[in-house]
Amino acid sequence: MASSFALRRLHMRGKGGLCKCLQKVDTFLHRTIGTNAVGRCGSLHAVQAERLEQAQRSILISCYSRPTEKKFLKYLSRHGDVKKYFFYESYGVYAVVEFANRDGVASLLEEAVIPSVSNEALVPFKSRLLSLKNLSSVDSNQQSGLQCQPQTSIPINQLIQRLSREESIDQQVVSLTETYQLTDENIRLRFLVCSLLQDIAAAYFPECTIKPFGSSVNGFGKLGCDLDMILDLDGISGGKPKSVLSLEFQLKRANSERAVTQSILSVIGECVDQFGPGCVGVQKILNARCPLLRFAHQPSGFQCDLTASNRVAIKSTELLYLYGELDPRVRSLVFTVRCWARTHGITSGIPGAWITNFSLTIMVLFFLQKRSPPIIPTLDHLAELAGSADKCVIEGNDCTFVIDISKIQLQSNTETLEHLLREFFEFYATFAFSKMSINIRKGKEQNKPEVAPLHIQNPFETSLNISKNVNATQLDRFVALCQESLWLLQQSGTNTPRVGNRSNTATPWGLATLLLPSQVAGVKSRKKRRREPASERIKGLLDSLKNNSQPKKRKKNTK
């Protein structure tokens, strides 16, 4: 495994402390993104397949009264072997329960009844979202014993205190990654929501699959991030190739694939809006470049986007997952830079002129490709290693790259996370944004093909600029904050652990100081001054010295 090879090299080169930190986060990522059965050699396809199977054996239960875990488990065990369960809070207490096989789910659904409510009309729509009532609950003094798994990240002030107690900046970066990344429980919940929506879509498209993509599965997702899903119809079987029968009743012709996507999402959107349990605020955004449905799933607390044709985004998800698997420093640095950017308003959850998380991630990958030696390979190199099974062309765009991680040989780079973080800020504080484009396919700067403050080439749709929305003001703020953060990390007073006056309070230092808003208060409104040519600056300096050397003329007294 490539990541294990990287860790072994670090250990052999004497980087024991860094190796220990990276091994810690590497193990945690292995436990959350994949499962023990799949392992780190498994592709994203294998990980998703196992997660989807888990979701098919799972149910979501709303617990109106908090039951004791013992009685809760005893009740469910009557229907089958419970493999895993956990509780969480979102508009009430919910439980996710995974049975050892689907028979347990079927048995539980057979016992469930359709409730009767006076003065209201009910739609008898069955789903795996159930409500549990009248199971004897604990009293108020015992309720605290029910452990609910967190589904959102901790506040920034708590994170700063946690980081301030670490002993090195490397450990701070690893601690931030562990704190913010998706937990195993949160990933299970995301796949379960996809599975519940798949039950609705399957009424129209049997054998279809709804699966997550983007930050939910690429390894860079933060607790609380949106849930992006795709309705996959490619897996629907069509029988024997030479059969004399065709499924005309399932096939209607349309002018374009886009029109088909719009029709599919329109119908499913109506069904989700009318009958989808817990789905509220359904919006049909069908005229966007990539048509989608947007809604909130209240039982999980997720903001959801469902599309049916964004296949390039699927390949981007696979690529980011691959890069994250190659070296644990990749994910750690991305999490750190993203957290830093969100804290200072460089990125935002609201669409606008801000740098997006995807653009910021590509910038981190590009920086790691530019190290000497490179920490990760270029996309072109990954394409060269691809076999025939990896070949992929989507709408004329070459999306080919190797999937088997064991085929990728990494170069020996032992730079610490602290050094990489400092170098990242220096790299982009001096980057020639006015002339150059960022390109992870080539791994080197290229002349801008268009006039835009920030140009980052789309890895697959190479004619597109993924940062086209960013304006000059936001780019200037990013550069200014990089300069400010670099300066802070270079100061001896801020990169050394310090102990606060009180035993339970630690004084911010290192990475924690970069997350303090007060440190960059003056940067937010600072405008980047236009840099004059060197000859003009020297000429201005000489003129200034000449004027200062001449004696000032005394003013005549006119009185």
For residues 87 and 191, state if they share a domain: no
Q: What is the CATH number of the domain that holds 98?
A: 3.30.70.330
Q: Is residue 59 part of a domain?
A: yes
The pLDDT score that the predictor gives to residue 423 is 98
For residues 141 and 229, state if they share a domain: no
- Rounded CA-CA distance 258/287 in Å is 10
Q: Is residue 20 part of a domain?
A: yes
For residues 24 and 52, state if they share a domain: no
Q: Is residue 27 part of a domain?
A: yes
For residues 208 and 303, state if they share a domain: yes
> What is the tens place of the pLDDT at every residue in 507-533?
899 999 999 974 444 444 444 444 444
For residues 201 and 99, state if they share a domain: no
Q: Is residue 284 part of a domain?
A: yes
Q: Is residue 539 part of a domain?
A: no
For residues 129 and 91, state if they share a domain: yes
For residues 94 and 20, state if they share a domain: no
The C-alpha angle 100, 105, 108, rounded to 5 degrees, equals: 125
For residues 292 and 208, state if they share a domain: yes
- Rounded CA-CA distance 427/141 in Å is 56
Q: Is residue 337 part of a domain?
A: no
In sign, the C-alpha dihedral spanning 33, 39, 40, 42 is negative
Q: Which residue, 289, 312, 335, sits at the end of a domain?
A: 312
For residues 110 and 64, state if they share a domain: yes
For residues 195 and 283, state if they share a domain: yes
Q: Is residue 128 part of a domain?
A: yes
Question: Which residues constitute the domain of residue 217?
Answer: 184-234+256-312
Q: How many domains does the chain have?
A: 3
Within the chain, which residues score under 50 in pLDDT? 1-15, 25, 27-41, 138-144, 501-502, 518-535, 537-542, 544-546, 548-549, 552-559
Q: Where are the alpha helices (DSSP H) in 69-151?
A: 69-77, 102-111
User: What global pTM score does this model have?
Assistant: 0.84
SS3 state of residue 531: coil
Q: Is residue 486 part of a domain?
A: no
The pLDDT score that the predictor gives to residue 239 is 61
The pLDDT score that the predictor gives to residue 120 is 72
- One-letter amino acid of 552: K
For residues 87 and 111, state if they share a domain: yes
Residues 6+ away with beta carbon under 8 Å from 212: 48, 190, 191, 194, 227, 228, 229
Query: 28, exposed or middle or buried, with CB in 10 Å at 0-12, 13-18, 19+?
Result: middle
Residues 6+ away with beta carbon under 8 Å from 383: 398, 400, 401, 402
For residues 27 and 71, state if they share a domain: no
